[in-house]
């Protein structure tokens, strides 16, 4: 083996070892790197108790209730299997809508309501013109109608 | 007759080759940039949820892809330079770093501008954003380490080690949105599934990707030529070049 090939081999092995180390470290950090918990995880008591954390999921359809005399808003976050009610006082981002992704930071109160101090909208990976979105919606409705018949 | 590619690993012959290549890539960069921006701003339709703000993807996505890709290329050449002691490969790595750092910064900055109206925040410490920020620090670390060491050969070696260690971060950035719950959305375009966006949006974005490739090649070649002249200033061919320039 020529010295330069030996050097290349040493570099390759070092990078490989480093990658494996990184994978192991990341694996160990897995739970701490989670940006938010899903309602199912919260119900399974995986979320930190008594500390501030984030929940993420979809805003449940028909769950948004605004109070008339304040900017306090109530909604529910769902991952389609579990639902967590949320209260929040503040301005909501543009993309905050029923049926869309949301991430809220706050604490879970004793009565099971999540009191949020910050609400962020989570955008999905879809980008399309309004006509295409309408067409998709119509197709979904037609499919639903066909199923119920 | 086979072309002897190793000929171009000599700084002198690469200097003249790259001189001929730069105008081509500058031309391609300008053409694709104009076409891409035109499609992006005038042809592509408005998004159904984000309105006009989605147009950030025409800059943000190419910049983010370039930031990761250039890092891999930089680490590759730095590694080759470290293993084989080839001068040109290390110079190329040094030339790539500022462009990579610029694209990283651009991706972070445009992302923040989009994040404020869409998410409701400029910045969150989620896995995608944090790992991209680490990428910026890796580029800056590479550049400042090289700048801190006077002997260019030693600077190359030290830089190569940072560059190679940092490669670990690239798959972390790319897969962060799949591995962990992040606020950042998943990829709209990937190799194994149909793109999740309208065709004109995709076309505009891909043209912008080509534009950023062409721009990067042109700028990096220009920069590597300067580095070659600087580091080879003691050689006969540079002296001759200087004489020729003076005579003109």
Whether A29 has its CB under 8 Å from any CB of chain B: the answer is no
Whether B48 and A95 lie within 8 Å, measured CB to CB = no
The answer to whether ipTM exceeds 0.85 is: no
| pLDDT in the model for residue B137 | 93
Whether A133 and B48 lie within 8 Å, measured CB to CB = yes
Q: Are B71 and B139 in contact (CB under 8 A)?
A: yes
| pLDDT in the model for residue A9 | 84
CA–CA dist B243, A110 (Å, integer): 83
| pLDDT in the model for residue A50 | 77
Q: Is residue B11 part of a domain?
A: no
Which of A26-35, A105-114, B121-130, B212-221 is predicted least confidently? A26-35
Q: Is residue B35 part of a domain?
A: yes
Q: How confident is the model at residue A149 (pLDDT cuts 50, 70, 90)?
A: low
Q: How confident is the model at residue B155 (pLDDT cuts 50, 70, 90)?
A: very high
The residue segments making up the domain with residue B83 are 18-187+198-247
A64 closest CA partner among A35, A92, A26: A92
Q: Is residue B164 part of a domain?
A: yes
pLDDT exceeds cutoff 90 at B104? yes
CA–CA dist A92, A97 (Å, integer): 9
**Partners of residue A22 in chain B, C-beta under 8 Å:** 168, 172
| pLDDT in the model for residue B127 | 87
Whether B198 and A129 lie within 8 Å, measured CB to CB = yes
**Partners of residue B53 in chain A, C-beta under 8 Å:** 94
| pLDDT in the model for residue A148 | 66
**Partners of residue B198 in chain A, C-beta under 8 Å:** 127-129, 132
**Partners of residue A15 in chain B, C-beta under 8 Å:** 79, 164-165, 167
Whether B85 has its CB under 8 Å from any CB of chain A: the answer is yes
A-to-B residue pairs, Cβ atoms closer than 8 angstroms = 125
More confident: B37 or A47: B37
Q: How far apart are the first and last CA of chain B?
A: 36
| pLDDT in the model for residue B52 | 82
The alpha carbon torsion through B187, B192, B196, B201 (nearest 10 deg) reads 90
Which sequence spans correspond to the domains of chain A? 1-33, 39-122
What would the pLDDT profile of A79-123 be if each residue is shown by its tens digit? Answer: 888 899 999 988 888 888 888 889 998 888 888 889 988 898 888
Whether A8 has its CB under 8 Å from any CB of chain B: the answer is yes
Please give the C-alpha separations between residue A43 and each of A47, A132, B102, in angstroms, as whole numbers: 8, 37, 44
Which of A19-33, B149-163, B227-241 is predicted least confidently? A19-33
Window 100-119 of B: residues touching A by CB (8 A cutoff) are 117-119
Residue A74 distance to chain B (closest CA, Å): 18
Q: Is residue B118 part of a domain?
A: yes
Number of domains in chain B: 1
**Partners of residue A77 in chain B, C-beta under 8 Å:** none
> Mean of the per-residue pLDDT values for chain B?
90
| pLDDT in the model for residue A23 | 81
B84 is written with which tokens?
């084989």
What would the pLDDT profile of B38-49 be if each residue is shown by its tens digit? Answer: 999 998 888 877
What would the pLDDT profile of A9-23 be if each residue is shown by its tens digit? Answer: 888 888 888 888 888
B186 closest CA partner among B127, B133, B136, B134: B127
pLDDT exceeds cutoff 60 at B1? no
Q: How confident is the model at residue A130 (pLDDT cuts 50, 70, 90)?
A: confident
| pLDDT in the model for residue B173 | 92
Q: How confident is the model at residue B157 (pLDDT cuts 50, 70, 90)?
A: very high
**Partners of residue B57 in chain A, C-beta under 8 Å:** 127
What would the pLDDT profile of B177-214 be if each residue is shown by its tens digit? Answer: 888 878 888 888 776 677 778 888 889 999 999 999 99
Q: Is residue B139 part of a domain?
A: yes
Percent of chain B predicted with pLDDT > 90? 57
Q: Is residue B220 part of a domain?
A: yes
Q: Is residue B213 part of a domain?
A: yes
Q: Is residue B8 part of a domain?
A: no
CA–CA dist B113, B97 (Å, integer): 24
The CATH class of A39-122 is mainly beta
Q: Provide mean pLDDT across the span B87-107.
A: 96
pLDDT exceeds cutoff 80 at A127? no
A125 closest CA partner among B206, B112, B50: B50
């Amino acid at each position: 083996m020529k010295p330069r090939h030996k050097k290349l081999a040493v570099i390759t092995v070092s990078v490989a070892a480093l990658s494996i180390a990184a994978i192991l470290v990341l694996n160990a950090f897995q739970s701490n790197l989670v940006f938010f918990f899903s309602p199912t995880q919260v119900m399974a008591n995986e979320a930190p108790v008594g500390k501030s954390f984030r929940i993420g999921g979809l805003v449940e359809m028909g769950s948004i209730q605004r109070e008339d005399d304040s900017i306090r808003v109530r909604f529910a976050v769902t991952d389609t299997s579990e639902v967590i009610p949320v209260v929040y006082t503040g301005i909501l981002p543009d993309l905050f809508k029923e049926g869309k992704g949301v991430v809220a930071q706050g604490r879970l109160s004793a009565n099971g309501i999540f009191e949020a101090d910050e609400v962020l909208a989570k955008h999905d990976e879809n980008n399309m013109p309004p006509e295409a979105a309408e067409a998709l919606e119509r197709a979904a409705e037609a499919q639903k109608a066909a199923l119920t018949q | 007759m086979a072309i002897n590619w190793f000929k171009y690993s000599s700084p002198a012959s690469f200097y003249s080759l790259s001189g001929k290549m730069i105008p081509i890539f500058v031309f391609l960069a300008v053409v694709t940039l104009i076409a891409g921006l035109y499609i992006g701003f005038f042809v592509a339709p408005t998004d159904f949820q984000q309105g006009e703000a989605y147009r950030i993807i025409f800059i943000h996505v190419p910049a983010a892809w370039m930031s990761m890709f250039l890092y891999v290329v930089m680490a590759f050449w730095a590694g080759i330079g470290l293993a084989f002691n080839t001068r040109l490969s290390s110079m190329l790595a040094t030339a790539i770093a500022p462009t990579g750092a610029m694209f990283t910064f651009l991706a972070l900055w445009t992302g923040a501008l989009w994040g404020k109206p869409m998410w409701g925040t400029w910045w969150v410490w989620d896995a995608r954003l944090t790992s991209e920020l680490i990428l910026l620090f890796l580029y800056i670390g590479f550049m400042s380490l090289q700048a801190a060491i006077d002997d260019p050969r030693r600077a190359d070696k030290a830089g190569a080690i940072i560059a190679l260690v940092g490669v670990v971060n690239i798959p972390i950035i790319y897969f962060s949105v799949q591995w962990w719950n992040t606020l950042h959305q998943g990829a709209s375009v990937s190799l194994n599934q149909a793109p999740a966006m309208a065709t004109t949006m995709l076309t505009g974005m891909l043209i912008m990707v080509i534009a950023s490739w062409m721009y990067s090649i042109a700028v990096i070649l220009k920069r590597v030529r300067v580095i070659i002249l600087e580091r080879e200033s003691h050689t006969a061919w540079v002296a001759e070049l200087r004489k020729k320039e003076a005579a003109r």
